[in-house]
Structure 1
Amino acid sequence: MSDFSRYSRQVVLPEVGVNGQAILRDSTVLLVGLGGLGSLSALYLAGAGVGRLLLCDPDHVTLSNLQRQVIYRSDDLGRNKAEAAAAQLRALNPEVETEVIAADTWPTRLADVDLVLDGSDNFPTRFATNAACVQARVPLAFAAAIRFEGQLGLIDPARRGGCYACLYPETGTAAERCEDAGILGPVVGTMAAQQALLALRRLLGLADDAGTLHTWCARTLQWRAHSLPRDPDCSSCATPP
């Protein structure tokens, strides 16, 4: 650590400490999707001192993004999201190494990462991310938000519980999109913060969150936990790689 004061509020926690901060410094996290979920999760990870963040998102910032993707500014309109997010993360914490990677190359980088965060907004990307992580046996923290609802979970191919394809069959209906169903910004922010928390818990070894799906209702502010068992017929994780 080059400056203890930057991380002092979490280092003082017995569950983190100097050793835990060193673990975070030496960790690499890949973020697939830098929209409302991934961009905010990235801010928390950078603030916490996760040493290396790989950023992947081929989309560009639009005016409608700014309602909930608060990492971006009006000056970023038309800019690639991963590039714009990287600039903000470097401004927040220059000690964190950020790297923008192409959408067609990130699966080749899984051997270099400790954890993947999926903040994408469509089923094809989610299924592809899940399948690649299962194949590479890399933990995956996923989150989603729509209308007033959110969900998140941690998939660990090397431990108990199922994967994303166990939860949603790939032959299912297309995912709803925010422009059609609507979304409140703080709903996305809540799920992004929880996704970052799952990531930090995993990196620090504070808990085994695999095998549980968490859902949240913003109307009632209530959380529910659901078992996410492995499907013996799952196309992704039924047969260990």
Structure 2
Amino acid sequence: MVVRIEPSILSADFASFAREIERIPSADLVHCDVMDNHFVPNLTFGLPMVQRLAQVSALPLDVHLMIDDPDRWAPGYAEAGAHTVTFHAEAAQDPVATARAIRRAGARAGIALKPATDAGPYLASLGEFDQVLVMTVEPGFGGQSFRSELMDKVREVRAAIGDRDVWLQVDGGIAADTIGTAAAAGADTFVAGSAVFGADDPDAAVQRLRALAQA
């Protein structure tokens, strides 16, 4: 199984994003959490910051939109240089149309599911997406504890993906003691925040997480 590790810049030093990204050369992508203080009760940054990050980052960006009305805003993040744009099923009026618009704008399209959201209604449309993100915490804040009961949903999505080229991502509480559980359930793409940027050597933390997931 191909394992991808995505450190979340939400846990990095906001005053030194470019330097922080340089500390994780072994990472596969950089995870960027965009929050609007409406869909989730937190506010981070928006399109201009992502556009600038795309200009200075040696790693591709996976933008996770925790915002209202992604149908309107998501394609702009693809145009800004994001490699992947993931939006929430709960906020989209037409997830398939939004995914197609993201792809037309030049990025991979991902759909995210909050812990209480049933994956079932979206499984028939998996061919429209490049990534499914199963949230293992409530979106909005970093540092929450991993919820192992959500591994049933991860297994359900993995079974539905089959041999399609769709990444199965998990986000929330991913650390050395939880990544193996998520990998065993079928996840292949892992978002880790404090487990990486809270370490003395963030790149060594990336490598350790990858090894644990592969094991």
Query: TM > 0.5 between the two?
Result: no
TM-score (norm: length of structure 2):
0.33
